Amino acid sequence: MLLTIRKFYQKSNLQHLLLPFLFLTKIFLFFILLYAFFRLIFLVYFLDKLETIHVSIWEAFLVFKHAFAVDTATICYLLLLPWLLTSLYLIFRKAYFITSIRWYLCLVTLLSLFLVIAELGVYGEWEEKPGIEILTYMQHPSEVINSSPIAMSLGLLALLLVLSLATFKVIHKYMVFKAPHKQHWSHTLIFFITAFLIILIGGRGGIGEVPISQSDAYFSHHKILNDAAVNTTYNFIHAVVWNQAILDGNNPFQSSIGVQEKQAVLAKLTQQHTASSFPKIFTTSRPNIVLVILESWSGDFLEDNAQYQSVTPNFHAMAEKGVLFSQAYASGTLSHEGLPAILSAWPAISGIYITNLPNKVSKLPSITQTLNNHAYDTMFLYGGQLRYGNMTSYIYANQFQKILEEKDFPNDTPRGPLGIHDEHTFTKFHQEIKQLKEPFFATMFTASSHSPYVQPMQDEIFWGGAHNPYLNSVLYADKSIQSFMRKVKQEKYYHNTLFVFVADHSHITPNNYNRNQANWHHVPMLFYGDVIKPEYRGTHVSQIVSQHDLVSTILAQMDINHQPFTWSRNVLRADYQESAYYTVNQGHGFITHHGSYAFNAKEKQVLYNTLPTDEQDKTKYGHVFIEQLMESILQK
């Protein structure tokens, strides 16, 4: 029987028909194994994170199972060009078509390798897969290198080189195809049509009514496992397409909520156009303002927990004499999202970096411009390089009268991988403030609490596991603030100066919240100084507020119009309705007094929800907020 089948197979030339299918199948299996190998590297590399959340071996194995469908769709998209070139080879019998396929596979593999290595480099800090923002960072590769320990950077580069050489060798050795000299035209036609249909169905995820999406890989309550299951190449390509759709003028956050209901929700969320009483907590309407933007400080340090408070003892001491906003939240996760949120009250939007859109930046309001118009002397100081994240264009658009960065420090100033150490930046800040004319608005952005957490101080904290270097870097920054405050208290301007401390964004701590959760976005925000009336010193404002509410809250105290800051609210108003928005990958999160939730707008998927059953209608707040926020940027 088997002999009869074999003779029929050979006589019918069926093997000639199957050869091109087998060639594409070989490419498919190559990428299936490659992506599985990438996933294994990811899980091993971040084993400490998996151990922290007690992931079992079975759960880790399920990553590979749930990844298969999206991996298949990704590979089917990648097979379109090999399918076309193989078809052309069958027609014209020119070897360069197959050679072109091999070089195409090398190019795709190199891109996939680059994305995977980039993911290993940034996931520990970002906790997100690399999307369109990775292109921004690649414009300044020195930042990527400086942000990581040298050993890790060299190790990842070595891994990239080794894997590239190994995969290229496999491609050139095994991705070989030579059709028989005699092949009926019908075989080529069958291959052309059948292979295309298979690729089309595979790329769509089957013949079902709903096509495959990234969310098909989601299976766990642990974000890191879902991120491991999602194909990194697929994620990047879709992030680019998503971002381009936005730049083309499309609003991916469009909701089905009615116009009148949207307006009612917006009125609650903005509160710009109604009169309301609020306490005046400053001793003067024209205080000097010193704004210190804290790199990557987490709100976890505000917890009623002795361990966490030991990281920021000076900040806690100041909080007992100032006005602490104990439930403040950042809208973004990166510095070039945090600075516009603080200075322009501009909330972050997933995948849209306002600092990369100069034509939009120029139309944003800013507290700096506002204070310039009220005869303030203004200055911005950063111990690093502003070109990172393209912050230069944004800071200059703010119209600071004086802008200083790393290049403006003496050459012998001690510095780390990302710039000047905080203690020395604060020293220069103190010196530069003395040169300003009152009233002044002086802003400083710290740097030492950014990875790779290099500071000129012996470790004093020995808990926190993998997060220990970060904790020590925040302690160092806290000590630097303490030293700075001791100096400025000796200055004449001190009694007429408001000191504001707020983080640009939060950071993971041993609490191990993930970025979909509201707690991850919790940040410190503090008003401090003798300019605060005695009866308000030591006040803890426990209402939920956003970092972009900072501008309106300060300007309202100064009787300066803050209506241009649409997304900022005076949180001290009697009718203030507490809430905070934050961004998540391809969507948004929203926090209310009753709970919070996060939503992926592209996949139409709820990522996180702690709202009680009778408060689920609050989910519309976030939908309206991000839809109208996106509309406003499209109209700028």
- pLDDT tens readout for residues 135-185: 555 555 555 556 555 556 677 778 888 888 999 999 988 888 877 666 678
Q: Is 227's pLDDT higher than 60?
A: yes
Question: Based on the structure, what is the number of domains in the chain?
Answer: 2
Whether residue 282 contacts residue 500, with contact meaning beta carbons closer than 8 Å, is answered with no
The string of pLDDT tens digits covering residues 482-539 is: 999 999 999 999 999 999 999 999 999 999 999 999 999 999 999 999 999 999 999 9
Residue 289 within a domain: yes
Task: Please tell me whether residues 226 and 285 are part of one structural domain.
Answer: no
Report helix angle 185-204 to 80-92, nearest 10: 180
List pLDDT tens digits, range 290-321. Answer: 999 999 999 999 999 999 999 999 999 999 99
User: Measured between alpha carbons, how far is 230 from 128 in angstroms, rounded to an integer?
Assistant: 11
Q: Is the pLDDT of residue 549 over 60?
A: yes
Whether residue 269 is contained in a domain is answered as no
Which residue's structure tokens are 């002795």? 306
Domain-ending residue, one of 194, 223, 246: 246
* Residue 300: inside a domain: yes
Q: How confident is the model at residue 77 (pLDDT cuts 50, 70, 90)?
A: very high
* Residues whose CB is less than 8 angstroms from the CB of residue 177 and which lie 6 or more positions away in sequence, other chains included: 19, 20, 23, 86, 89, 98, 101
pLDDT at 152 (0 to 100): 61
My answer on whether 384 and 466 are in the same domain is: yes
CATH number for the domain that contains residue 307: 3.40.720.10
Q: Average pLDDT, whole number, for the chain?
A: 88
Q: Are 431 and 379 in contact (CB under 8 A)?
A: no
Q: Are residues 218 and 355 in the same domain?
A: no
Judged against a pLDDT cut of 60, whether residue 10 lies above it is answered with no
pLDDT of residue 13: 62
258 assigned to some structural domain: no
pLDDT above 80 for 9 = no
Range of the domain at 484: 278-511+523-572
Instruction: Let me know if residue 41 belongs to a domain.
Output: yes
Q: Is the pLDDT of residue 572 over 80?
A: yes
Q: What is the mean predicted confidence (pLDDT) over 439-463?
A: 95
> Do residues 242 and 314 both lie within one domain?
no
The answer on 289 and 220 residing in a single domain is no
pLDDT at 138: 53
Q: Is the pLDDT of residue 346 over 80?
A: yes
Question: Is residue 236 situated within a structural domain?
Answer: yes
| pLDDT of the residue at 342 | 98
> According to the per-residue pLDDT averaged within each range, which of 162-166, 397-401, 439-443, 591-595 is highest?
439-443
The helix/strand/coil state of 336 is: helix
Shared-domain flag, residues 37 and 169: yes
pLDDT given for residue 141 in this prediction: 56
Quick one: 22 and 137 in the same domain? yes
pLDDT attached to residue 133: 60
CA distances from 283 to 277, 493, 557, 558 (A): 17, 14, 10, 10
Q: Is 463's pLDDT higher than 80?
A: yes
Q: Are residues 219 and 124 in the same domain?
A: yes
pLDDT of residue 8: 44
Residues 73 and 166 in one domain: yes
480 in a domain, yes or no?
yes
Determine what percent of the chain is predicted with pLDDT higher than 90: 60
One-letter-per-residue 3-state SS of 490-516:
CCHHHHHEEEEEEECCCCCCCCCCCCC
- Same domain flag for 434 and 565: yes
Task: Mark whether 338 and 217 lie in a shared domain.
Answer: no
Higher-confidence residue: 240 or 293?
293
- Residues 347, 431: one domain? yes
- The answer to whether 129 and 235 have CB atoms below 8 angstroms apart is yes
Answer whether residue 257 is part of any domain. Answer: no
- What's the confidence (pLDDT) of residue 242? 60
Distance CA(272)–CA(534), nearest Å, equals: 29
Of the listed ranges 72-86, 212-226, 279-293, 457-471, the least confidently predicted one is 212-226
